[in-house]
Structure 1
Amino acid sequence: EAADDKNVVSIKMTLYRVAKHSEVVEALCEAAENGKDVLVLVELKARFDEENNIEWSRRLEKAGCTVIYGLEGYKVHSKLCLITKRSGTKTEYYTQIGTGNYNEKTSRLYTDLSVMTCDKDIAKDAIDVFNALASDDTVKSVDKLLVAPNCLQNKVLDMIDGQIAIAQSGGEGYIGVKINSLTDKKIIDRFIEASRAGVKIDLVVRGICCLIPGVEGETDNIRIISIVGRFLEHSRIYMFGKGEERKIYIASADFMTRNTLRRVEVAAPILDEDIKAQISMMFDKMLADNCQARELDSDGEYTLVSDGKEPLNSQELFYDLAYERASKAEVEDK
């Protein structure tokens, strides 16, 4: 839509993995051919997709897009898009932040989350990210977004510390995280510290996990499950606190040192209360999954969750809910 909108003046986007027949890239080319300022960062170090990305970057350049080819020493793994629209003296920003790549093929196979917002502070952070990338640099400070390598791990540690302080003062500290992998030792050590302080921690970690739960006096407040089903679990969710004070982020970054310190990653705060409630509900349903979930025990073994409750397959539930929402929207449109 932005490619054809006469009031859109610019589109800035990061591309990590794209499909072999990418409609996203075609739309960016169309936007440039329509006279819009299009800046695209194409990550040439995306493993197994190097050749495909080189071909698409040439197509983008030929169409008149400004193409950046990553940063020295860092992979750009963020999923970030910023659209600037002007009408008269009014300027509007549309920022989209996701957990999955702009890839039509994997979007049918992976579970991911994406948020689109007109929040001007988030747009300002996104502008700073793109300006830094265009200068072959990384952002040193941000307001609302979390941006690796300089402004993500430290802010996550600060939020864990916040929950530790709540628990130590007699309150109910809580942390809920869904990621692909957990190997970042600084974050793992802080999780252990939080568990010792009485913070309840729920982790949904699909793959590699270097933290053992249920160790008495150390990690007995930590529960870890892995969900493996029809779709590849790929979304990343960070949650800190409970009730109205809960902070929720969706992110491109797993808690791995390669993500938190050696890549450009972006996490976005969820500010809308309805969306926060939706993500909290989804996380709770994942924790209650007793069809595809396997729980990690203190011996390092995974066991299929069997709690005797009514069967709950979280992926099938979200699939059905998505179709239900789509059907309601179709009826309302008519």
Structure 2
Amino acid sequence: MRKPKIFIDGEAGTTGLQIRGRLQGRNDLQLLSIDPAKRKDEAERKRLINEADVAILCLPDEAAKATLSLLENPQTRILDASSAHRVAEGWVYGFPELGPEQPERIRQARFVANPGCYPTGVIALLRPLVDAGLLPSSFAASVSAISGYSGGGRPLIEAMEGQGTHRLAGAYRAYGLELTHKHLPEMTLYSRLERPPIFTPAVARFRQGMLDFIPVHLWALPKKVHGAELHEVLAQRYQGQRFVRVMPLETYAQHHPVLDPQALNGTNLLELFVFENPQQEQALLVARFDNLGKGASGAAVQNLDLMLGLEGPYTYEYLGD
């Protein structure tokens, strides 16, 4: 039986290496690889892209856009791991858990855009609550998030691990303080919000792992909502999902939780939490996942398998370097 051919364009980058690591050793795929000496050879890249059944683009945004001009084989499908096409017309958003119809849309699509890391948790939390009417589309969302330094790509990884210029002198750095970020359009569109959230990301001195936080002033919502209702909607939406877990409802009076952002590293899992302080009529929505797993390469492999109809037997765990 013929094995699907996969070409990772940009396999030497952080996401490309992680995807290749997850695919290495599988006997149901044929990985095409470019000679390292020809990585910048456009003719060789063009040949491999058009030989592949699926080409995975692990490139900067502008390079990903330019690569589409090399596409000549009408049978070659594209999975873009950059942020270039996440809200573009003609592309299917590669978050299979977005809704019941999304896996089939991904299976049938020629062009699939892999989600961004931060938006994966934000959309997973907000979209079901907006769909259910517990949060209005006009909800004034604020999102704070923290990521391991691998989210900064090779330059920051090399700096943090002793190569190049040291870029993070302390344990924690907030950024995006100009209140613009390339992830905002997909957060807004796929969460079904009328306006972009205020988004304040941060990077910390650990390699990978991610937490997204969304506070909710329950008292300010148009209709009375309890934390248990938010939790129930999320639990119903993701019931039976393989890679999304809705964790038990917690209240301030019951438990003082400590969340380790690195707990899901090496997996394709996404955990969703609802914490509530009933006395203050406040809730906190939290998503935890691996920014290189469900936030990037793990999601890419999940999408690839959907595109190829191979999603059955794999756990999408990757415990390599």
Using structure 2 for the length normalisation, give the TM-score: 0.28
RCO comparison, higher one (Cα < 8 Å, 6+): 2
Name the structure where strand makes up a greater proportion of residues. Answer: 1
Greater Rg over alpha carbons, structure: 1
